[in-house]
């Protein structure tokens, strides 16, 4: 069993890497991507001698060879090197939400230490690439730190209602349907007059598939192809609610999909499962597919919202966040991300207009005074 040691760097704003880095994995990835030690060294800004020596040192440390050292031939990863790199990337993909949360906690702690005037927004949210970008942008552009804890959309709103955060992030289809799974999941958690939603972004959800889309997938019915392996998202996530909802509308039995019970914790982990060849498709966001150099079949337009209690809408930290969201700089950054559109970013929106479930089938029943919204059933 090999030991694992975690370290972090404290530097200027924006200087920290988004993921936990490992020097060996950086070397292996560069050799695989560029096809030789000399090309890898050039890409990393290192000397050939240094890269060659480090790879030899790591082979001695691990007691296993990593490279095929054929004389006169460009170096390439051997089977163990490929397996090691794949395993590390899989772990990074699965742990991305926790790694991001750990980084946010460290940033928040040092922000308070260096500047007592810094605003901190405790936020539970569905994992999203644009939210991660906002977290970095906010730190670099203003005295605002998003203390993000990634959770499923349903769990995030529950955390808000239980007082564990001051803001939550969740996503729904642009045109909510009456009686849908989304209504049944989110409606018990949200209450007009108590909650306020803030526009964040519009994004595409679709099927993440191998490059070239070899199975020609165009919709959910294609997931029933013989031998096709699907990878799902976990219960409590907004993407799982969306998937179950769309299957229900299409009249497809979820149990007929091979891999329905296999789950991953993030869009990045779903994309990695497809990239590694262990799955043929998974529902996710476009940016996750692009990062892994995969193809993307867009299926649904979604709104990603931030939600807070009405009583916290005028807090300085909330106002600072909305100001950043409305800024031209942030909206230009968001527009450059694959699959995202800055729609109503930073604007306080009507809960009934954006999520008109309370108007379906007549007037809503009055909730007893002092009763908080309950937890939605998991879908």
Q: For 330-348, what is each residue's pLDDT tens digit?
A: 999 999 999 999 999 999 9
Q: Is the pLDDT of residue 115 over 80?
A: no
Q: pLDDT by residue (tens digit) across 119-173?
A: 788 899 988 999 989 988 887 776 688 888 888 999 999 999 999 999 999 999 9
Where does the chain hold its CATH 1.10.10.10 domain(s)?
A: 23-77
The dihedral built from the CA positions of residue 190, 192, 196 and 200, taken in this order, carries a sign that is positive
| DSSP 8-state assignment for residue 270 | H
Quick: pLDDT tens for 43-82. Answer: 888 898 898 889 888 888 888 888 887 776 777 888 888 8
What's the topology of domain 93-359?
Answer: D-Maltodextrin-Binding Protein; domain 2 (3.40.190)
Helix (H) or strand (E) holding 245: helix 238-250
User: Which fold does the domain 23-77 belong to in CATH?
Assistant: Arc Repressor Mutant, subunit A (1.10.10)
Phi, psi for 25 (deg, rounded to 5): -65, -35
Higher pLDDT among residues 68 and 240, named by residue = 240
Per-residue pLDDT averaged across 318-330, rounded? Answer: 94
325 has pLDDT over 90: yes
Residue 377 in this model has a pLDDT that exceeds 70: no
Query: For the whole model, what pTM was predicted?
Result: 0.69
The CA–CA distances, whole Å, from 49 to 37, 41, 43, 74 equal 9, 9, 14, 15
Domain span(s) for CATH 3.40.190.290 in the chain:
93-359
Q: Which 8-state DSSP code applies to residue 93?
A: H
């Amino acid at each position: 069993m090999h030991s694992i040691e975690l370290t972090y760097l404290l530097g200027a704003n924006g200087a920290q890497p988004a993921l936990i880095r490992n020097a060996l994995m950086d070397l292996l990835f560069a050799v695989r991507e560029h096809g030789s030690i000399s090309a890898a060294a050039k890409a990393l800004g290192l000397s050939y001698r240094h890269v060659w020596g480090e790879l030899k040192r790591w082979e001695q440390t691990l007691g296993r060879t990593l490279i095929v050292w054929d004389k006169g031939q460009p170096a390439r990863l051997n089977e163990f090197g490929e397996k090691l790199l794949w395993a590390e990337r899989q772990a990074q993909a699965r742990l991305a939400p926790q790694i991001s949360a750990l980084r946010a906690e460290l940033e928040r702690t040092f922000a308070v230490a260096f500047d007592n005037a810094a605003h901190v927004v405790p936020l539970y949210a569905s994992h999203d690439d644009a939210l991660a970008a906002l977290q970095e942008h906010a730190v670099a552009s203003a005295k605002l730190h998003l203390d993000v804890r990634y959770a499923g959309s349903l769990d995030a709103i529950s955390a808000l209602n239980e007082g564990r955060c001051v803001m939550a992030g969740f996503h729904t289809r642009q045109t909510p349907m009456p009686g849908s799974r989304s209504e049944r999941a989110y409606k018990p958690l949200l209450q007009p007059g108590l909650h306020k939603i803030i526009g964040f972004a519009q994004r595409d959800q679709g099927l993440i598939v191998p490059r070239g889309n070899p199975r020609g997938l165009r919709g959910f019915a294609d997931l029933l192809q013989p031998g096709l392996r699907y990878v799902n998202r976990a219960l409590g996530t907004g993407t799982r609610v969306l998937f179950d909802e769309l299957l229900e509308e299409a009249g497809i039995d979820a149990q007929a999909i091979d891999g329905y019970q296999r789950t991953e914790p993030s869009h990045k982990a779903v994309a990695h499962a497809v990239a590694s060849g262990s799955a043929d498709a998974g529902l996710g966001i476009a940016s996750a597919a692009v990062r892994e150099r995969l193809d993307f079949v867009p299926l649904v337009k979604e709104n990603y919202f931030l939600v807070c209690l009405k009583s916290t809408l005028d807090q300085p930290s909330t106002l600072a966040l909305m100001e950043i969201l409305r800024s031209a700089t942030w909206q230009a950054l968001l527009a450059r991300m694959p699959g995202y559109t800055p729609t109503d970013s930073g604007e306080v929106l009507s809960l009934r207009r954006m999520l008109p479930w309370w108007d379906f089938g007549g007037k809503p029943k009055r909730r007893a005074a002092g009763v908080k919204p309950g937890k939605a059933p998991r879908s």
